[in-house]
Amino acid sequence: SQKIEQNSEALNIQEGKTATLTCNYTNYSPAYLQWYRQDPGRGPVFLLLIRENEKEKRKERLKVTFDTTLKQSLFHITASQPADSATYLCALDIGGGAGNMLTFGGGTRLMVKP
């Protein structure tokens, strides 16, 4: 069966450190992968998109890697801040040529302590 896995356990790190979150998938060949941030009681907010032919994408303190051989994406937040505390979701495009349809992982909660 098709599956997207994110670590369901919360990740606790100290302010200033780099947070690294993992997204693994099986039985997909996505055209691209996206990362979202979700705060409690709010809708997810789009952060970054990376295509299958891109190895790495950066946006300010965020960096995403995409390894289609390992079927894995890593999401990094450098110089983390308490305001980065949230749940982070990865999502895969499974629509193929029919257009984008996203399937989401369960998310990983990040807690950044001062």
Partner 1 sequence: DADVTQTPRNRITKTGKRIMLECSQTKGHDRMYWYRQDPGLGLRLIYYSFDVKDINKGEISDGYSVSRQAQAKFSLSLESAIPNQTALYFCATSDSRGQSNYGYTFGSGTRLTVV
- Contact residues toward partner 1 (CB under 8 A) are 8, 31-32, 34, 36, 41-47, 49, 51, 89, 91, 99-107
Q: How far is the CB of 89 from partner 1 (least distance, A)?
A: 7
Q: How far is the CB of 102 from partner 1 (least distance, A)?
A: 6
Nearer to partner 1, 102 or 111 (CB): 102
- Collect contacts of 66-75 with beta carbons under 8 A, ≥24 apart: 66/33, 68/29, 71/24, 71/25, 71/26, 71/28, 72/22, 72/23, 72/24, 72/25, 73/22, 73/23, 73/33, 73/35, 74/20, 74/21, 74/22, 74/23, 75/20, 75/21, 75/22, 75/23, 75/35, 75/48
Q: How far is the CB of 16 from partner 1 (least distance, A)?
A: 28
Nearer to partner 1, 40 or 114 (CB): 40
